[in-house]
Structure 1
């Protein structure tokens, strides 16, 4: 079945606009989901809407209400909700361009793919995308999605545009609320040096294929074992961390990660045979890794 767009409307840069569609760029979390069953029959439990005073309620009699105080609601109909329409309900209007580094990673949220909606939209979409690429900045715009107006950050990628929802100021808590509780003190410089060397020995490129959900894998193993009638026993509780001297722990950690020596630079590849005495061509410089986001 074809993926349905999360939002459809128009992308607009000043007087240039084109129809676009927005698709989620990520899948949902764990695919292992459990249903609620009756213990005796293993029949699936039905969740029946119930009024605490009158009992079961037909779904056609359910309305939306906003609680303005304990037990007091304002009832709002679907038609009234639809009447609250902003321009951003159907238009993603680019308002500003900023440097990506200006946006704190705490604000980055969900990623989406933005694509032209129909063949007639391709030309204008391509013009906007290439102009954004030339500018080298992130475009900011707003749209209404899931009954909320959301700030979006747009950046060109390949033939399309990646759009991230950005959290609002009210959603991001102040760091000082938590970090101010940490006592201010200067660590031992020698300990910091050892910890830095441990980090250097564990450096490497980001490969998402190496970070599977091991908990979900363990759940699948458990389900397969239960399906075959096997008895599953809980593993032993992990032992509490041994209380040892911090300097000793750092030194032992350094020994486990590489013997305490700093990483040596990679040896140069020998010149290819038959090169006519000329030195081997230099390999192209690697691109800087993409910035990580929250």
Structure 2
């Protein structure tokens, strides 16, 4: 099968060793169920239009351009060819700056993955040298690359016969966890509870296997679309009742370890039959009144 169209073409450079390479996106959303906006009355698909925020007029494609807001409501226009005039080395070259230990890369900085392959036979030897040299080191190469008019730091590591490049976020793009975690309380938890929780973790130990990942929501969406297309009725999901029962954390841990239901659910289930009987009696009295009136 012919490889997909390259997302980026350029050179991979390690010191004085250079080879032509291509980048392909390593992820895709093609299989995801997608919806279009349609006109409820006609069933026709809708199209989006750009509207002038001040005049309300529709703006045609040839009238659109980019602008950077320098003050409130005042923009400086930037044309496409002007953006392309911003030439830096990483526009066409992935220049490896340094190598860092793999485990030092904070996972919050990982962004989008790309496959890096040699572009033609000319640079195959140089590509193999760079790839195989990296296999012997538990380190990841850090380089710079320009994608969609933005320069990114990219982490590169061997993957099979090729290389995997993952763009990284800049520090200003990663939020500080202290803003979200500082108010979390630190209650005293008993050693017994920790040991029970540890046993639960051990009972669920497994190996990472993405083949076992099942997108249940996607499956449900496809079923919904098929039923709707076939003219079958769609059942609306009942609202989940909020359970306000306060359950002992220790009891919940013990029940979890045994693989049973949570005490909360058992307590809720115990109350449900009594809740159903009262409306039934009331309905019976209403029926009796109706017969008496007749």
TM-fit CA distance, 1:162: 0.7
2:154 to 129, 152, 155: 152
Q: Output one character per residue of 1:86-143: Cα deviation in whole Å (capped at 9) or x when no partner.
A: 1000000011011011111111121111110011110010011111112331111001
SS in 2 for 1:193: helix
Give, in whole Å, the separation in 2 of the partners of 1:190 and 1:69.
61
Instruction: Give the aligned partner of residue 104 of structure 2.
Output: 102
Instruction: Give the aligned partner of residue 60 of structure 1.
Output: 62
Tell me, yes or no, if the aligned pair for 1:11 and 1:91 is still in contact at 8 Å.
Answer: yes
Instruction: Give the aligned partner of residue 204 of structure 2.
Output: 202
Q: Output one character per residue of 1:239-279: Cα deviation in whole Å (capped at 9) or x when no partner.
A: 3244311111111111117xxxxxxxxxxxxxxxxxxxxxx
SS in 2 for 1:23: strand
Residues 1-294 of structure 1: matches in 2 within 5 Å? 2-28=3-29, 31-51=32-52, 52-53=54-55, 55-241=57-243, 242-256=245-259
Question: Relative contact order: is structure 1 or structure 2 higher (C-alpha 8 Å, sep ≥ 6)?
Answer: 1
Tell me, yes or no, if the aligned pair for 2:112 and 2:166 is still in contact at 8 Å.
Answer: yes
Q: Output one character per residue of 1:180-211: Cα deviation in whole Å (capped at 9) or x when no partner.
A: 11112331211111011001001111221222
The verdict on how the C-alpha distance between 1:54 and 1:220 changes in structure 2, with shifts beyond 3 A counting, is closer
Tell me, yes or no, if the aligned pair for 1:143 and 1:152 is still in contact at 8 Å.
Answer: yes
Higher alpha-carbon deviation: 114-123 or 46-55: 46-55
SS in 2 for 1:75: strand
Indicate the RMSD between aligned Cα atoms, in angstroms: 1.6
Give, in whole Å, the separation in 2 of the partners of 1:25 and 1:6.
11
Q: Which has the larger radius of gyration?
A: 2
For structure 2, the 5+ residue unaligned runs are 261-294
| TM-score, normalisation: structure 2 | 0.83
Point out the structure with the larger helix share.
Answer: 2
Q: 4+ residue stretches of structure 1 with deviation over 4 A?
A: none
TM-fit CA distance, 1:177: 1.1
Give, in whole Å, the separation in 2 of the partners of 1:120 and 1:87.
21
Higher alpha-carbon deviation: 122-131 or 69-78: 69-78
TM-fit CA distance, 1:30: 6.0
SS in 1 for 2:122: helix
